[in-house]
Amino acid sequence: MKQIAKTELDTLFAAITAEQKLYIPADDSAGQAQFTLWRPGLALSGRLNTARSAKDLFFPQVENLVGFRMHAGAIERVETREEPEDFVIFGVRACDCRSFSILDRVFLSEPVDTFYQMRRAHATVVTLACTRPEETCFCAAMGVDAADPAGDVTCWLEDGTLLWRANTEKGEALTEKLPMLRPCPADAADAQQARTRALMQKLPLAKLDLSAFGAGKTRALFDRPEWASLSEACLGCGTCTFVCPTCQCYDVEEFRDGSSVRRFRCWDSCMYSDFTKMSAGQPRPTQRERFRQRFLHKLVYFPENNDGVFGCVGCGRCLAKCPIHMNIVKVIKTLGVTHA
Amino acid sequence: MKQDPLIPEIGVVTDIRTDTPDVKTFRVVGLDGKKPFTHIPGQCAMLSVPGVGEALFSITSSPTQTEYLEFSIKKCGCVTDWLHAMEPGRQITIRGPYGNGFPVDTDFAGKDLLFIAGGIGLAPLHSVINYCRHYRSRYGAIDIVYGSRSMEDLVDYPEILNEWSREDGIRVHLTIDREQPEWDGHVGFVPNYVRELAPDTARTVVMCGPPVMIKFTLAALMDLGFDRTSIYTTMELRMKCALGKCGRCNIGTKYVCKDGPVFRFDQLDELPDEY
Amino acid sequence: MQGVKEKAIELLRSKSVDRVVGWKAGEFFYDLTPAVFTSVPEVEQSFVWSVFCAANLSKYLIAESRRGGKVAAFLKPCDTYSFVQLVKEHRILRENVHVVGVQCAGMCDMETIRSHGLSAVTSVAEQDGALRVETLYGARTLDRKDALGEKCRTCKSKKLAVYDELLGEQGCDEDNGRFLEVARIEAMTPEERFAFWRGELSRCIRCNACRNVCPACSCETCVFDNPDSGLRNKAAADAFEENLFHIIRAFHVASRCTDCGECTRVCPQHIPLHLLNRKFIKDINGLYGPYQAGADFDTKPPLMDFTLHDPEPSQAAVRGGGV
Amino acid sequence: MQRIGVFVCWCGTNIAATVDVQAVSDALAKEPGVVLSANYQYMCSQTGQDLIETAIREHALTGVVICSCSPRMHEQTFRKTVARAGLNPYLLEIANIREQCSWIHKDRAQATEKAIILGRAAIAKVQLNTPLQAGQSPVTKRALVIGGGIAGIQTALDIAEAGFAVDIVEKQPTIGGKMTQLDKTFPTLDCAACILTPKMVDCAQNEKIRIFSYSEVEAVSGFVGSFRVTIRKKARYVREDVCTGCGLCTEKCPQKKVPNAFNLGLDTRRAIYIPFAQAVPKVAVIDADYCSMLKNGKCGVCAKVCAAGAIDYTQKDELVECEYGAIVAATGYNPIDLSGYDEFAYSRSPDVVSSLEFERLMNAAGPTGGTLLRPSDKTHPKTIVFVQCVGSRCSAEGKGKTYCSKICCMYTAKHAMLCREKYPDTDVYVFYIDVRTPGKNFDEFYRRAVEEYGVHYIKGMVGKVSPEGGKLKVQASDLLDGRQLHIDADMVVLAAAIEPDKSARPLATMLTASMDTNDFFTEAHPKLRPVESPTAGVFLSGCCQGPKDIPETVAQASAAASKVIGLLSKDSIVCNPCVAQPDELMCNGCSSCEKVCPYGAITYLDKEFRGPNRTTLLRRVAQVNPAVCQGCGACTVACPSGAMDLKGFSNRQIMAEVDAICR
Amino acid sequence: MQVNSEWKPTIVAFCCNWCSYAGADLSGTNRLSYPANVRIIRIPCSCRLNPMFILRAFQRGADGVILCGCHPGDCRYTTGNYYARRRMTLLFSMLDYLGIERARTRVEWVSAAEGAKFAATMNDFVQTVTALGENRRLEDLRCKA
C-alpha cells in the first residue's frame, strides 16, 4: 500500500501523463462528471460517478472498422485501425470496474473482438473506492464491494490522502514509475472500508432481492403479464442502454462518399424499434418485446451463458437518467414478486 | 495483430447462374482464385457490397466442393438487388463461416434422411444433400421433398433432375403449388405432400422453407408420429456481426448466428416464442 | 394541488372514462413514471400527484386516444399546448380524451437538485415555500425556484390552452425571461457561439431521448430512422453528425414546437436543447409576429404560411437575432 | 445495379473548344454503374440520336446521361430519343455542360473538371431515377376569355370560329373596352367605333360565345384542361333576359348628376344607364351608388317606365361556376392616374386633359358632340400643347413607369393632325423626347402631321404648366435650339403612360400566372412563346402582356386564340409525371403538406394498416391527386417525416447530386 | 482576388428550374463568366429546397450554398418562393446562431431574364466564400482522410 497527499494529486497525474495518456473523472460544462483526458489544472470531480460509463474507453460509441475503395468492379480494402497508445483510466468505481469483466466475457470470448481487446491491453485501470454512495446505488445487490474495487490499482481517498494499492503486474509497473507514492501501512484503508460497507447496507436498495432471476428463469419470466405495464411508458429511447456500463449491442454501418466506403461500428440499442427489423418481419414488434429483451438479457440470458453472472453492476445510472424513471430496479421488484 | 472477425476478405464472383426468376446462384472465390474458407454444411457467410450493405447467406455448395463457394440468393432487399444486377468478375467482400452447421458427421451418420424444402429453403439443404451424396455410404436412404410456387421457381431444377433423381438410393419428390400445363408431377403444398408420402418415422428430418411451410409440415410430421428430437431446421434473423456479440439475433439465451442457425425442434421448444 | 388523485378516482368510479393517464409512484419519492390506470384500486395504490410530475403526458395520448373508449389525462398548462398542437395535427383524437387541466406551480427536477451538490437524497418536503432536502449525508434547505427544472424556471404560461374541467384556477401568460439565454448567445461573436454549441452538442450520445419524448416528434418513422431518407444514422459521429441531427430536428419541429421543455429535461447529458427550439420561436415571433404553437386549434403554423412582404433571408440575423 | 450510358456532346466547338470531351467521357466511364461512355459532335443530330438509341439497345442500358446543352433546350428531344429505344424517357438526366460550363469558363482544365463533376452528379442522380408514366387528363372543350376589349373579342371570335365554345367575362356592363372610347385610329384615321362595333355584335350573335358582362372572376382552381372558375355576375338590377335596351328608363331617371365614366367624367349620365349606344349587351344597368331607390327605397321611376318589366331592385350578385380547358387573360390597360403630375396642373385646371379625355372631346358621341371645346369655358382652344411621355420612360426612382407606353407617339400625332384638320386656325405644339414610329405607315403618318398639317414638333420637355387668367402658361425647353419656351396655351393634352389594369394582379394570383414588376403578365418565353403564360393552359392577349396598339393587339389576340384552339382540339393532355407522392407507411396525417399546397392537390384518407401482433391500425394518410399536382415540392419540405417526396426530384436524388458535387 | 490563390471553394447553387436555372443558362448564352467552382443543381422550385440538402452539402464539404429562385410574386407555382423565403430565413438565422458563418449561405432571387445578375451574384458569392476560407464548422470529418 502506498499513499500520496491529495494536494499532490496534480503531481501524480502529471507523472502518469508523462508516460501515457490519463483519463480522470472531471466535471463538464453542464456540471456532470465525464472521463476526460487529464491536462494540468484539470480537477478530479467531486461527484460519485461519471454520467457516461467507463465502457466508452474500451468500446467507443463509434469506431472505424475498415475502409473500402471502389474501382470499377474491384474493391480495395483500406486499413483504418490505429493502434492506441497506452493509457491509464483513473477513478473508476467498483461498479464500472466490474462492468469490464462483463464486457470481457462478450468481447474476449471466441471469436475475439480485436478492437476491444487492443484497447483493454493498452489500458491500466485505476479504481477508486466509494465513500458516499447515492440512493440509486445497488452494486451490493450485484455482488460488488464498493469499498474494495478491483482493477490494476485500487485507490481510496481518505482525509486528504490518496491510498494506492497495486493489484496486478500492470498496476505494479505503473506504481514503479511513480516515485512520489510513498509507502504506508497495509491497513490504511480498513477503517474507511468498514464505514462504506456499513453505509452500503443502509442504502434504500441494499436489500434488492434477485432470487427470482438468473440462469434458467426464462420460462418463469418470459410470459409474465407485468411486462405490458412495465413497458407501457417506455419511450423507446436509448438512454438506459447508452449510459449502461454493460450494454454492448452494436450496429455495423457504412458511410459512403461515392468512391470510398468506411465501415464503422456504433452503439445500438435493443430498445430501438428498428433494432431487429428485417425486410421479412420483426421478431420484437412492440416496445414490450424490446423492453423484455433488455431486462431478460441482463437478468437471465446473460447469467445463463456466463456462469450466473448478472449483466448489471448496480451503478444506478439508468435510475437517474431514464426520462420516465423506468429501470431495472422496478423490473426486479415487480417481477420478483411471484404469483400466488 | 490478428485480423478482426468483423473485417471481411475480398472475394470475386466468378460465375452467376440464373436459377429462377428471382433466384441466382453466385460462385465466389478469394482474390487468390481459391476457395475462401472451408465450412460445414448449414453454415453461413456474410457477403457484402461495400456501400450497399452486408447480409448473411447460407452456403449452398457442399464442403466437398474444393474450388469455390456457392450461394443461391433470392432477390429481396438492397444487398440482394445489387448482387442480382451484378456481372461475373466483380468483387464483393466475404467473411465466415458462421454458425453451427448440420451434424452431418455425428447425428446424421448412418441415418435414413428426409429433406423437406420449400422455395429458396433448398439453399441451405443443397449443401447437406451434396455432402451426403459425396459420402453416400455413410448414410442410409435419402428422400427429398421439395416444393415451390411453380415449376419456374424450383431452384437447381436441372441438377435435381439430372443428378439427384438418377442416383441410387435417392428419391426426389417434387411438388408445385398450382397446376401448370408442362408439369406432370405432383401438385399441392409441401405439408400435404409429406402427409401423402407418409415417410418412415425413424428418419432424421432436415427441413427448411418459409415459416408457414415449417409450421404445417411440423404438424404433419407430428401427426405422422415423428419425434421432435429428430427434426432439424435452420433459422434466419436479422444479423449484423454473426459473432454472437451485436445483440440482435438471440432467441432467449441462444444466438442464432453462433448457437444456430441449425436447431433441433426439441431445442427450439426450450426457447421462448420470439421468432 | 389537492384533488388530482381524487379526481382520477371519481372519473373511473363514475365510469365517465375508461382509463386515466397519470403518474405512478416509483421506488423513491421522485421517480414517477407515466402510467395508464384502469381501476380505482390501481389509482388508490400508486397514483401520485406531486412536485415531481414534470413529464408531459400529451404524447401518450396519440396512442391512448386510438385505443377505444374514453381516456382522461391530467395536463398541466404547458402540456395543454402540446395537446392542442397534436389535436391540430390530427394525431390525437380529441373526442376520445377528457382533459383534466391541472394548475401548476412549477415542477421540481431531481437532476437540478443534485446539481446543487446534493447526493443520496432521501426526501424532499415543501416547507414554507422552501424545500427541505434530506440526504444520507445531512439535510439542506433549497429555495423552491432552485429546485425547479429548466422548463419551469422559464415557464411561458400558466394559462391552459384547453381543458374539459379544471383543477385550480385558470392562469395567464408569464414572462420568466425564457428568451434571455437565447439573446445572450445571440450577443456572442460567431466564434463564441460556435464554441458554445460545439461544447454542448459534442456531449450528445444520440440516445434519442429528446426526440422520443418530444410531442412534436411523433412521426410514424423519423427521417433519422428511415433508410430511404438518406439521413439515417444512429451514430453520434465526429463533429457535424450530431449538429445535423439537432438542427434538422429543431427545424422539423419549428413552428410546431410549443416549448414544453421536455427535450432538455430528459437529456442525460444536460444539453440545453430548448435553446435551439427557442431560437426558432424567438425568430418567428420577431419576424412574423407572436405565435404560440398549440395556443389554439386553427392558426396556421408560421412555416406553413407567408405574407407577401416577409423579410428576406439576408435580414434574418439582424431582425430575428435582435442583437 | 444500374447499367448507365454516358453521352458527351461536343456541340461542334461550343463545348469541345473549352471542354476536353474525350477526357470527360473517359472520366465518367469509371463511375459506378457506367457501362458505356461515348462522345460525339452533335448528340442532338439524327446521327447523335441514333448513336444513343443503338447504345441503349445494344448495352441494355437502364439509365442515360447526356452531357450537352441545357436541359431546357433539348431535354424533350432526348427524352423522345430514349423512349424510341424502349427506355422510359424519365431514365434520362442531362448534365448542362454548355450554358453552365463551356460557355462561361475559359480555362480548359477548369471547364473540363467542372464538366466531369456535373456529369458525375447526373450519373449519381440517374442511378436513382425510376420510370415515370405521364398521366392523362381530359380537356374541357370550352375556353374562358377574361376581358372583353378588342383583344378579348378577337380571341373569342377566333376560338368560336374554330368551333369551340368560349365565354367572355367583362367587368364593365358592356364589352368593347378602351377602343369604344377612341375616336379615330391611326394611321388610317378610320373610325374606331365603325370597325369595332361589328365585332361586338358578332360576339353577341355567335352561338358559341357567351358573354358575362358586368362580371368578374372570383376564383380559379384546377389546371390546364380542367380549370374550375367561379364568376361573379354583379347585380345590375335589370334583368338581362328581359331588358330590350329601349333606353326609356335612362331618360326618365331623376338622378341626373352621375359622372359619366364612359366620357371619363367630362359629362354626366343617369343612375340607370346604358354605357353607350352600341353597347353589347344593350342592357341597362343601375348604378347602385347613385340610385335613390336602392339607397333609400324611394323613387322606382325606372321600374314604372319599363314596359318590359326588367327592373329588379332585389337582384343580388350571382356566382356561376364553369369548367374551362383554357383561360385567356385579356385584361387590358388603363392610363395612369395623372393626379400626381402637379407640374402639368392636371388637377388644377380642367383644360389640362389626358389624351383619352381628348379622344372623348373630339368624338361625335362625346360630351361635346364632337366639337373641340375647352372643358372650362366651352370655347374653342386656339393653342394646344401636347406633352409626350408623361409617366413613361422615367427613371426607376421616379414616380412614373420605366417602360415606353408605345402608343402615345402615334395617337398624339393623330390628335395633332385631327386638330389641325378640323380647326386649321389652332396652333398645335407637340413636346417630345423621341418620336417613335416603327410600324407600317407610321412614320409617313407622323411626317404628314409635321409636313402637311404644320404641327409644331419640339424636342424637349415641358417643365411647368401654370393656369393664369384663363390661359395655361407652358414653360418648356427646346433641346434642339437650346432655348426656353413660354407658350400661352388654351389647352394642354398629356400623353399619359399606360399601365396594366388593376384587376390583373389578383387575377394572376388566382391563375398562378407570373407577372413582372410592372404587373404585366409574363410570357412563357419572350420571343418563342409570347402569347402563353408559363402556367399551362393560361394564355395572354393584348395589353395585359405589354403596351400595344390595335393591330398588334388583334394579332396577338388571334395568336392566343390559335394556341387555345390547339389545346382544345386535344381530347386529353399529358400530365407532368414529376409529382409529389406520399409514402403512406410514413405519413403522419398531420396536414402540413396540405397547408402549403397551392393547388389543393392533397386530401386525406383514413386507411387501415397492419399493426404489430396482427392488429389493425386506422391511420390518416395523405393522398396526392397527380392530375392536380404541378410538382413544385413545397409539401416535401413541409412534411416533417419525409413521407412526401417528389418524383423525378426525390430527396435521395437531390442528395446524391449534392454528394457527387461535393465529393 | 488576393486571397489564397490556390484554394477554391466548392459552391453548390440550387436553382429554380423556371427562373434562376434559365437565368444561369442566359448568362451562359451571353458568355458572362463566373468561377467554375459554382455547381448548379436544378430543382423545380425554390420551395423544393429542403434544409437537409443545404446541411448535407456542408456536411459533404461544400464551402458555400446558395439558393436562387424566382422573385417573390413571380413563382411558377405562385407561392413556392414565399415558403422558401421563410424557411431559409429561419434556417440561416439558426446557422448563424450556431456560429456558422452566415456568409456561406445566401438566397438570391434571379429571374430567367437576369443572366447578368446571375453571373454577378455568383462572382460575388464566390469572392465572399473564398475570403471566408474553407468550411470547417459543418463538415463531417468522416469525409476526410
Q: Answer yes or no: is pLDDT of C317 > 70.
A: no
Mean pLDDT of B31-43: 93
Mean pLDDT of D490-495: 96
Secondary structure (DSSP) of D361-420 = HH-TTSTTTT----TTT----SEEEEEEEESSS--TTSSS-SS--SSHHHHHHHHHHHHH
Q: Does A256 touch chain E (CB under 8 A)?
A: no
Q: Are C5 and C103 contained in the same domain?
A: yes
Restricting to A residues 49-68, those with a Cβ less than 8 Å away from any Cβ of B are: 65-66, 68
Q: Are C120 and A133 within 8 A, CB to CB?
A: yes
Containing domain of residue C162, as a range? 1-107+157-176
Assigned domain for E4 exists: no
pLDDT band at E27 (very low <50, low <70, confident <90, very high): very high
E25: domain CATH number is 3.40.50
On the CB side of D590, CA atoms within 13 Å amount to 31
Q: Each residue of B66-90: pLDDT tens digit?
A: 999 999 999 887 888 889 888 888 8
Q: Share the mean pLDDT of chain C.
A: 90
Q: Are E56 and D72 within 8 A, CB to CB?
A: no
Cβ-nearest to C229 among D585, D595, D651: D651
**Per-residue pLDDT at E3:** 45
Q: Are C27 and C165 contained in the same domain?
A: yes
Q: Answer yes or no: is pLDDT of D350 > 50.
A: yes
**Torsion, Cα of B34, B36, B38, B40 (10° steps):** -130
C-alpha grid cell, residue C315: 435580414
Query: What residues of chain D lie within 8 A of the CB of B86, using their CB?
Result: 1
Q: Each residue of D179-207: pLDDT tens digit?
A: 999 999 999 999 999 999 999 999 999 99
Residue of chain B whose Cα is closest to the Cα of D2? B85
- D607 vs D621: CA distance, rounded Å: 7
**Per-residue pLDDT at B79:** 87
Containing domain of residue E46, as a range? 11-134
Q: What are phi and psi of A44, to 5 degrees?
A: -70, 135
Q: Answer yes or no: is pLDDT of D340 > 90.
A: no
Q: Each residue of D422-444: pLDDT tens digit?
A: 999 999 999 999 999 999 999 99
Please identify which residue in the block is written with the cell numbers 472477425: B5
Q: Are C30 and C134 contained in the same domain?
A: no
On the CB side of B246, CA atoms within 13 Å amount to 23
**Per-residue pLDDT at D549:** 95
What is the CATH number assigned to the segment(s) B113-234?
Answer: 3.40.50.80
Mean pLDDT of D339-350: 91
**Per-residue pLDDT at C294:** 94
Q: Are C320 and E55 within 8 A, CB to CB?
A: no
Assigned domain for C152 exists: no
Q: Answer yes or no: is pLDDT of C237 > 70.
A: no
Q: Each residue of D600-629: pLDDT tens digit?
A: 789 899 999 888 777 888 899 999 988 778
Q: Each residue of D94-141: pLDDT tens digit?
A: 999 999 999 999 999 999 999 999 999 999 999 999 999 988 889 999
Please count the residue pairs, one from chain D and one from chain E, whose beta carbons lie less than 8 angstroms apart: 150
Q: Are D16 and D93 contained in the same domain?
A: yes
D122: domain CATH number is 3.40.50
Residue of chain E whose Cα is closest to the Cα of C276? E94
Q: Each residue of D33-85: pLDDT tens digit?
A: 899 999 999 999 999 999 999 999 999 999 999 999 999 889 999 999 999 99
Which are the contacts of C289, defined by CB distance < 8 A and separation ≥ 6? none
Q: Are C223 and C118 contained in the same domain?
A: no
Query: What residues of chain B lie within 8 A of the CB of A268, using their CB?
Result: 246-247
Is the preceding peptide bond at D526 cis, omega within 30 degrees of 0?
A: no
**Per-residue pLDDT at B1:** 54
Residue of chain A whose Cα is closest to the Cα of B98? A111
Containing domain of residue D78, as a range? 4-126
Q: Which chains touch C (3 or more CB pairs under 8 A)?
A: A, D, E
Q: Each residue of A14-60: pLDDT tens digit?
A: 999 998 999 999 999 999 999 999 999 999 999 999 999 999 999 99
Mean pLDDT of E122-127: 96
**Per-residue pLDDT at D299:** 92
B159-163, C84-88, D432-436: the lowest-pLDDT one: B159-163
Query: What residues of chain C lie within 8 A of the CB of E88, using their CB?
Result: 313
Q: Does E78 touch chain D (CB under 8 A)?
A: yes
Which of the 8 DSSP states describes residue D91?
Answer: G
**C85 and C55 in contact (C-beta within 8 Å)?**
no
Q: Are D523 and D595 contained in the same domain?
A: no
Q: Does E52 touch chain D (CB under 8 A)?
A: yes
Which are the contacts of B74, defined by CB distance < 8 A and separation ≥ 6? B22, B23, B80, B119, B120
Residue of chain A whose Cα is closest to the Cα of C53? A324
Which are the contacts of E72, defined by CB distance < 8 A and separation ≥ 6? C308, E81, E82, E85, E109
Across C233-242, D343-352, D513-522, which has the greatest mean pLDDT?
D343-352
- C318 vs C320: CA distance, rounded Å: 6
What is the CATH number assigned to the segment(s) B9-98?
Answer: 2.40.30.10
Q: How many domains does chain C have?
A: 3
Residues facing residue D607 across a β-bridge: D619
Residues facing residue D609 across a β-bridge: D617
Mean pLDDT of A167-188: 94
**Per-residue pLDDT at C2:** 66
- Percent helix, strand, coil in chain B, to 5, is 25, 30, 45
Q: Does E137 touch chain D (CB under 8 A)?
A: no
Mean pLDDT of D86-98: 95
Q: Which of D469, D499, D529 is the last residue of a domain?
A: D499
Assigned domain for C184 exists: yes
Mean pLDDT of A155-167: 93
Cβ-nearest to E40 among D73, D100, D534: D100
Q: Does E141 touch chain A (CB under 8 A)?
A: no
Give A31 to chain B, closest Cα distance, Å: 33
Q: Does A265 touch chain B (CB under 8 A)?
A: yes
Assigned domain for C50 exists: yes
Torsion over CA: D405, D407, D410, D415 (sign): negative
Q: State how far the alpha carbon of B117 is from the alpha carbons of A31, B64, B154, B195, C281, in Å.
A: 61, 21, 10, 14, 61
Query: What residues of chain C lie within 8 A of the CB of E73, using their CB?
Result: 308
Assigned domain for E77 exists: yes
How many residues appear in chain A? 340
Q: Each residue of A191-212: pLDDT tens digit?
A: 999 999 999 998 999 889 999 9
Strands C97-102, C71-75: pairing is parallel
Q: Each residue of E47-85: pLDDT tens digit?
A: 999 999 999 899 888 999 999 999 987 787 878 999 999
Q: Each residue of B208-250: pLDDT tens digit?
A: 988 889 999 999 999 999 999 999 999 876 678 888 898 888 8
Assigned domain for D42 exists: yes
Give D54 to chain B, closest Cα distance, Å: 21
Q: Are C96 and C46 contained in the same domain?
A: yes
Q: Which chains touch B (3 or more CB pairs under 8 A)?
A: A, D
Establish whether chain C is in contact with chain D, requiring a minimum of 3 CB pairs below 8 angstroms: yes
**Per-residue pLDDT at B211:** 85
Mean pLDDT of C192-204: 92
Q: Answer yes or no: is pLDDT of D10 > 90.
A: yes
Q: Each residue of E89-100: pLDDT tens digit?
A: 999 999 999 988
Q: Are E86 and C303 within 8 A, CB to CB?
A: yes
Strands (E), B39-169: 44-49, 53-58, 69-74, 91-98, 113-118, 142-148
Residue of chain E whose Cα is closest to the Cα of C281? E90
Q: Are E94 and C310 within 8 A, CB to CB?
A: no
Q: Which of D449, D481, D499 is the last residue of a domain?
A: D499
Q: Share the mean pLDDT of chain A.
A: 92
**Per-residue pLDDT at C320:** 45
pLDDT band at C30 (very low <50, low <70, confident <90, very high): very high
Disruptive mutation site among A325, A328, A329, A331 for chain C (greatest number of C CBs within 10 Å): A325
Q: Which chains touch E (3 or more CB pairs under 8 A)?
A: A, C, D
Q: Does A224 touch chain E (CB under 8 A)?
A: no
Q: What percent of chain A has pLDDT over 90?
A: 81
C-alpha grid cell, residue C320: 430575428
**Per-residue pLDDT at E2:** 42
Query: What residues of chain A lie within 8 A of the CB of B247, using their CB?
Result: 248-250, 268, 270, 275, 297
Mean pLDDT of A264-275: 91
Q: Answer yes or no: is pLDDT of A327 > 70.
A: yes
Residue of chain D whose Cα is closest to the Cα of C87? D590
Q: Are D339 and D458 contained in the same domain?
A: yes
**Per-residue pLDDT at B142:** 92
Q: Hey, is B179 helix, strand or coil?
A: coil
pLDDT band at D273 (very low <50, low <70, confident <90, very high): very high
Residues facing residue C108 across a β-bridge: C148
Establish whether chain A is in contact with chain D, requiring a minimum of 3 CB pairs below 8 angstroms: yes
Query: What residues of chain A lie within 8 A of the CB of C236, using their CB?
Result: 61-62, 266
Residue of chain A whose Cα is closest to the Cα of D611? A285
- C149 vs C140: CA distance, rounded Å: 18
pLDDT band at D293 (very low <50, low <70, confident <90, very high): very high
H/E stretch holding C275: helix C274-288
Q: How many domains does chain E have?
A: 1
D391: domain CATH number is 3.50.50.60
Strands, sheet with D462-468, edge to edge from the N-terminal-most edge strand: D462-468, D471-478, D483-489
Cβ-nearest to B10 among A77, A118, A284: A77
Q: Are D2 and B85 within 8 A, CB to CB?
A: yes
Assigned domain for D492 exists: yes
Q: Are B53 and A111 within 8 A, CB to CB?
A: no
Disruptive mutation site among C304, C305, C306 for chain D (greatest number of D CBs within 10 Å): C304
Q: Where are the domains of chain B?
A: 9-98, 113-234
Q: Which chains touch D (3 or more CB pairs under 8 A)?
A: A, B, C, E
pLDDT band at B2 (very low <50, low <70, confident <90, very high): low
Q: What percent of chain D has pLDDT over 70?
A: 100
**Per-residue pLDDT at C323:** 36
Query: What residues of chain B lie within 8 A of the CB of A300, using their CB?
Result: 253
- D102 vs D115: CA distance, rounded Å: 8
Comparing CA positions, the residue from A297, A314, A315, A316 lying closest to residue A306 is A297
C-alpha grid cell, residue E7: 484554394
| N- to C-terminal Cα separation, chain C | 41
Q: Are C90 and C164 contained in the same domain?
A: yes
**E36 and D111 in contact (C-beta within 8 Å)?**
yes
Cβ-nearest to C238 among E99, E100, E142: E142
Q: How many domains does chain D have?
A: 5
On the CB side of B33, CA atoms within 13 Å amount to 0
- D497 vs D547: CA distance, rounded Å: 9
pLDDT band at E141 (very low <50, low <70, confident <90, very high): low
Q: Share the mean pLDDT of chain D.
A: 93
